A = this chain, B = another copy of it.
Amino acid sequence: MIRIGIFGYGNLGRGVEAAIKQNDDMELVAVFSRRDPSTVKINTEGVTVCHVDEVASYKDKIDVMILCGGSATDLPVQTPQMAKHFNVIDSFDTHARIPEHFAAVDKEAKASGKVAVISVGWDPGMFSLNRLYGEAILPEGSSYTFWGKGVSQGHSDAIRRIDGVIDARQYTIPVPEALDKVRSGQNPELTTRQKHTRECFVVAEEGADLARIENEIKTMPNYFADYDTTVNFISMQELQRDHSGIPHGGFVIRSGKTGNGNSHIIEYSLKLDSNPEFTSSVLVAYARAAYRLNSEGAKGCKSVLDIAPSYLSSKSAEQLRKELL
């Protein structure tokens, strides 16, 4: 049995807990939280909840620690720190800061002799893999990543910070015509506005100036100004009834040519009911890989790009060749 620890118990931590139950070769040993452990109720009977300060005492009781904090402030500190004691997995998703995060984690993991896998999930993660495979197989071509339809947490938060807004949900939606053009092999150059639209559902305070709120959203730099954005004002009841899920997904498409102008389209797509639960499922599969790699003597920081697919499966190499190849 691979002994797993969960570090941070929000949506992602709960998703990891659920995913562990779907994998017969794994067991959850402990959940670590910054909150008072007596106030944290988890969904697995007989498993301890500990304060994060106790984590060092679990050094020999946990094979892989899955870090479930956020990329902004948690993981840049926690992943290198935890890599001193454990094999670790994180879902660090600030694309621009991946090189520095990698360097910080690699240093600690090499020193401790542990394996760390960073930026695991679907983007970065499965989408990155598909960008790499696509580019390597069809070197003469173009790659496209579309996100959605799905809830963007960051954009929803940005709307919530506007004066007069009680709550909000923002959906990122790929433009169907852009997808069609890419799939047709035309290798179009697409602007930000041509690739995605943004749809917002906003609950405003009674008597708030809706026109002002709508204008503040649509003109918000970085978040909305470069997109065609639709704003819908709805009641709190409607928000809770129709927009409580956290679906997401998207498409990675490689369009390339070979020989005398033969076109090929490789398309990878995800349609996810729950963004955090799917991300968690990927984290858990890579926890198995980290454990096995470390058992073979590997150490240091890796990404999904560095790990052979067979390490993700509990099946033997023989079984994989027979059943899946």
Chain A residues within 8 Å of B, Cβ to Cβ: 14-15, 18-19, 22-23, 95, 98-99, 102, 119, 124, 126, 128-133, 135-140, 183, 258-259, 262-274, 277-278, 280-282, 285, 288, 303-310, 312-313, 317-318, 320-322, 324-325
Q: Can you pick out 9 interface pairs between chain A and chain B where the beta carbons lie within 8 Å of each other?
A: A126-B266, A132-B313, A136-B313, A137-B281, A258-B280, A262-B277, A264-B274, A268-B268, A305-B308
Check if A310 sits within 8 Å of B306, measured CB to CB.
yes
Check if A23 sits within 8 Å of B133, measured CB to CB.
no
Tell me which residues across on chain B come within 8 A of A312, comparing CB atoms: 132-133, 136-137
Tell me which residues across on chain B come within 8 A of A18, comparing CB atoms: 258-259
Query: Do A131 and B324 contact each other (CB < 8 Å), given the known contacts A258-B277, A278-B258?
Result: yes
A309 and B262 CA atoms in complex are apart in Å by: 25
A310 and B137 CA atoms in complex are apart in Å by: 12
Tell me which residues across on chain B come within 8 A of A313, comparing CB atoms: 132, 135-136
Check if A271 sits within 8 Å of B264, measured CB to CB.
yes
Q: Which of B266, B267, B268, B324 contacts A135 (CB 8 A)?
A: B324
Task: Looking at the assembled complex, report how far the CB atom of A144 sits from the nearest CB atom of chain B, in whole angstroms.
Answer: 13
Task: Looking at the assembled complex, report how far the CB atom of A129 sits from the nearest CB atom of chain B, in whole angstroms.
Answer: 6
A23 and B256 CA atoms in complex are apart in Å by: 13
A137 and B278 CA atoms in complex are apart in Å by: 8
Task: Looking at the assembled complex, report how far the CB atom of A43 sits from the nearest CB atom of chain B, in whole angstroms.
Answer: 10
Check if B280 sits within 8 Å of A270, measured CB to CB.
no
Tell me which residues across on chain B come within 8 A of A135, comparing CB atoms: 313, 324
A19 and B138 CA atoms in complex are apart in Å by: 9
Task: Looking at the assembled complex, report how far the CB atom of A227 sits from the nearest CB atom of chain B, in whole angstroms.
Answer: 24
Tell me which residues across on chain B come within 8 A of A272, comparing CB atoms: 262, 264-265
Check if A129 sits within 8 Å of B309, measured CB to CB.
yes
A174 and B298 CA atoms in complex are apart in Å by: 43
A138 and B256 CA atoms in complex are apart in Å by: 30
A267 and B19 CA atoms in complex are apart in Å by: 20
Q: Considering the complex, give the chain B residue whose CB is closest to the CB of A102.
A: B321
Query: Do A321 and B98 contact each other (CB < 8 Å), given the known contacts A281-B137, A308-B306?
Result: yes
Tell me which residues across on chain B come within 8 A of A308, comparing CB atoms: 305-308
Tell me which residues across on chain B come within 8 A of A321, comparing CB atoms: 98-99, 102, 303, 305
Check if B282 sits within 8 Å of A259, measured CB to CB.
no
A269 and B258 CA atoms in complex are apart in Å by: 18
Check if B324 sits within 8 Å of A259, measured CB to CB.
no
A277 and B258 CA atoms in complex are apart in Å by: 7
Check if A320 sits within 8 Å of B132, measured CB to CB.
yes
Given contacts A128-B325, A265-B272, 12 further A-B contacts (CB under 8 A): A22-B140, A95-B325, A98-B322, A99-B318, A99-B321, A133-B309, A137-B278, A263-B273, A305-B309, A305-B324, A305-B325, A306-B317
